[in-house]
Amino acid sequence: MINELFKKRRSIRKYDPSKIVSDDLIKQLLEAGMCAPSACNTRPWEFIVIKNDELIHKITEIHPYTQMIKTSQCAIIVVGLPNNQVNLPGANMWPQDCAAATENILLQATEFNLGSCWCGIYPTDRVAKFQSLLDLPSHKIPFNVIAIGYTAEKFGSRGFYEESKVKWLK
């Protein structure tokens, strides 16, 4: 049997605004993220933790599909660092590495009974808008916004096994 966490994790878009996730829990989520594998162990990521109402409002203006962070009141921005991989066999693999770190964060959040939602930034034209909002240089690429909070909605599992997606070569 696979771990229940994989099925329990869902994208949560309504949070209880009376409860704010502690910095200690956020730090543990980031630790889980930083345990992810990365090409040539380059760890091409940084994380920006946002708990500031004004910034949260500005994010929802430049990324309309992040409205849920108004109730979660906490968001993590995963930032990719392509320069960590220049001239290495792992060059340009940073999006995969950032995705791996993101999934670790989502699953650890689920384990803590927190809701989360992955909201993509890269590779859309929102990258430049986030760089400007967060005062990031061009070599630091905002990859996604992860909403983190105490959930105000419950869903059943969406994950399932699909044999048609698998080709066995034995």
Ligand X SMILES: Cc1cc2nc3c(=O)[nH]c(=O)nc-3n(C[C@H](O)[C@H](O)[C@H](O)COP(=O)(O)O)c2cc1C
- Helix 126-133, helix 53-62: angle, nearest 10: 160
Name the residue nearer to ligand X (CB basis): 131 or 144: 144
10 binds ligand X (CB under 6 A): yes
- Longest Cα separation, the chain: 56
Residue 28 phi, psi dihedral angles, 5° rounding: -70, -35
- The distance of Cα 113 from the centroid of its chain, to the nearest Å, equals 16
C-beta of 132 vs 157, nearer to ligand X: 157
Give the nearer residue to ligand X in terms of CB position, either 37 or 159.
159
Query: Is residue 119 involved in binding ligand X (CB under 6 A)?
Result: yes
List the one residue from 43, 120, 133, 134 that touches ligand X (CB under 6 A): 120
Query: How far from the centroid of its chain's Cα atoms is residue 116's Cα?
Result: 8
Q: Is residue 13 a contact residue for ligand X (CB under 6 A)?
A: yes
- CA–CA gap between residue 61 and residue 40 (Å, rounded): 37
65 makes contact with ligand X (CB under 6 A): yes
User: Residues interacting with ligand X, by CB under 6 A?
Assistant: 10-11, 13, 65, 117-120, 158
